Structure 1
Amino acid sequence: MRSDDSRDLDRSDTDSVTVSTTDVGYRIDLPPQLAALNRSNVNVQSLAVERDETALQQAVKLDPLTAAVCTLEKTDEMVDGLLEANTEYLPELD
């Protein structure tokens, strides 16, 4: 697949409220073990897009890489810093 051929790429379109994926014409049924591994990540990512600051902080705390290097307090500080640094790009959170 060539990187400049957008027809072959799975893309996501976003607006201020929703995230949706574009179907590229094929579907793969994963073995249950792989689907479970993906689901654990998707569940965390779903929390992160709820437009709720508490849900966002919880989602980041559940991320395995973040949890491996940050305390819960440091994670809250990191999320607060990221939100502050990106205020002009983000919608209001609940």
Structure 2
Amino acid sequence: MITSKQRGYLRGLANTMVPIFQLGKGGIEDNFLKQIDDALEARELIKLTVLNNSGFEAREASDIICENLRCEGIQAIGNKIVLYRKSRKNPRIELP
């Protein structure tokens, strides 16, 4: 678990990020989870967009993804999700 101070720091880093994935009508499938898992390992902090035709709300999608990938849901506002997981091989982000 991360603290609220760390969560705020990560929110600040994610503020200027561009979403690299879109959750659409395909839903949350194994292939989609694998891509997110690889991106989290490489980047540690990623932003996703939840499209209206996906059938998920942002918070709901965040909870499902975090449960499957054991990552932290940093923020879910509107249709954007921010996820964080410390990289096992090459940690880059130093939390306060």
Query: TM-score normalized by structure 1?
Result: 0.24
Structure having the higher helix fraction is: 1
Structure having the higher strand fraction is: 2
Q: Which has the higher contact order (CA 8 A, sep 6+)?
A: 2
Query: TM-score normalized by structure 2?
Result: 0.24
